[in-house]
Amino acid sequence: MSHVPATSAAPAHVPCPKCHHQVPYFDQENSTFFVCPACHAYFKAEDDNAPVSLGKFEGNQKPVLPLGAVGTLRGQQYRVLGWMLRKEKQAIYQWHEYMLRHEETGIQAQLAMYEGHWMLVGPAGRDYKVSGRATSRGAQILDEDTSYDIYNSYSPVTLYAEGEFDWEIHEDSKLTVTEYIAPPHMLVREKQGHQAAHWYRALHIEPSEVAEGFQVPNQRMPFRTGVGAIQPAPAQNSWPALRSFSLNMALLVIITQLALLFIKPEKQVLLQDFSTGRETVPTGANAEAVAAGSNRVLVSKAFEIEGPAALQFALTSSLANQWLEVPVTLVNERTGQRYEFTKSLEYYSGVEDGESWSEGSQDQDATLANIPTGRYHLTLYPVSENGQDLPLHLGVSQHTPLQSNAVVLLLLLAVYPVIQYLRRHSHEHNRWANSNYGPQDES
């Protein structure tokens, strides 16, 4: 690529050897190959020699960026000199390449577009060392702690072209072009036979940057599909910070939970067994109430609470094809303040068609939070079928770690990072689906 500075904003002209149309061009120092916009003839015009026809391009396609237009990309001005429609020699994939000239330095660059994804390509200015065979699976380049993985290797064929060029574009079919990616960057190696390789660097460019930089209406811009070779993954810049923040917050939740266990260790304040059966067998008018399942009222021993505290209640009954409903009231003996909850226990089992089955549970748990300091007792109003006499074991603990709260908080902390992780994973999967060197091809 040329390093000759730009000489003039006004185009020169060269006659087409086929139709004699005056073909405009801008790089008067370097351009020697041209495509006539009138008859699509491809020809060479060098020094004072007469133009020589090299063939003709068939078709009437038009580039998105007009030839000769000047635009701005990343704060630098470029002029569009030429345009090519190209494909891989051994595949059907096609892409567009625009030849650009930096207006201040004259250095040439390329703006490549595939399926609406754009990247700016320029001279790397140095060579790179490839670990492994340059075009084999697993080949990598390590550059300043950045690892570039091989993505594609091909030979380009020019299907159509317009504008001016400083090399014979058909000769590119003899090249082996190998791409190594570390999104949003790419290193490109061009090599022909035993000749020295030439290296280029590419940078992902958003379509909006191209449209704004060259004043192209959005409706004329190609629709972007799929994932580009070096298109940044979602949250490319914020992902490291998001991942670190989420991990640190999760660690803080776990440490806090452990600290609470140490500062306020769990303490059992009540452990008592009850019998739910009625004290007497009613007759007459009370028989209907018994049939509905009335049991006697149960009152626990008194116990002290050092609050504010969360109380954990564990209720157990050895049920066998039975049910038991237990309304529970926690009563502050000084203030009369009440806290209530109800738990239902039921357990059924049997054998059907030679298969054992069971449903329900003989255990239930409950939690009351922010209980003040004081002396308390429990009042229980158990209800069982036909007032059956059932055993009930009740345990009460204070400062029981509310692991469910910690779990909920950890889940909430994980929601957004997990969504971003899944988006990034899907993005990478789709990126490598377009490569012959992707992880999904590994056996």
Q: How far is it, in rounded angstroms, from Cα 433 to Cα 440?
A: 8
d(CA 90, CA 176): 12
Among candidates 76, 116, 97, 86, which has minimal Cα distance to 211?
A: 116
Q: Find out whether 384 and 295 touch, Cβ atoms under 8 Å.
A: yes
In tens digits, the chain (443 residues) has pLDDT values of: 333 444 457 899 999 999 999 999 999 999 999 999 999 999 999 988 899 999 999 987 889 999 999 999 999 999 999 999 999 998 888 999 999 999 999 999 999 999 999 999 999 999 999 998 888 888 999 998 899 999 999 999 999 999 999 999 999 999 999 999 999 999 999 999 999 999 999 999 999 999 999 999 989 999 999 999 999 988 777 667 767 878 888 888 778 767 766 666 778 899 999 998 865 444 444 444 444 456 789 999 999 998 788 899 999 999 999 999 999 999 999 999 999 999 999 999 998 888 999 999 999 999 998 899 999 999 999 999 888 899 999 999 987 555 666 777 778 878 878 888 888 888 889 999 888 887 654 43
Alpha carbons 394 and 379: distance in angstroms, whole number: 12
Rg of the Cα trace of the chain?
Answer: 39
C-alpha–C-alpha distance, residues 269 and 421, integer Å: 45
229's CB contacts (< 8 A; 6+ apart) are 114, 117, 119, 151, 152, 179, 181, 183, 186, 431, 434, 435
DSSP at 348: E
Distance CA 284, CA 98 (A): 101
CB half-sphere exposure, 33, CA atoms < 13 A: 17
For CA atoms 78, 81, 86, 88, give the dihedral sign. Answer: negative
Q: Give the Cα separation of 107 and 121 in Å (integer).
A: 11
Please state the domain extents for the chain. 6-220, 239-260+404-441, 267-400
- Cβ-Cβ contacts under 8 Å for 139 (sequence gap 6 or more): 130, 131, 132, 133, 149, 150, 178, 180, 437
- Spatial separation of the C-alpha atoms in residues 221 and 237, rounded to whole Å: 26
Structure letter (DSSP) for residue 264: S
Give me the sign of the Cα torsion angle 410, 415, 418, 420: negative
CATH number, domain 267-400: 2.60.120.380
Q: How far apart are CA 376 and CA 336, in angstroms?
A: 9
Tokens of 351: 């054998």
pLDDT given for residue 243 in this prediction: 76
DSSP state of 439: G
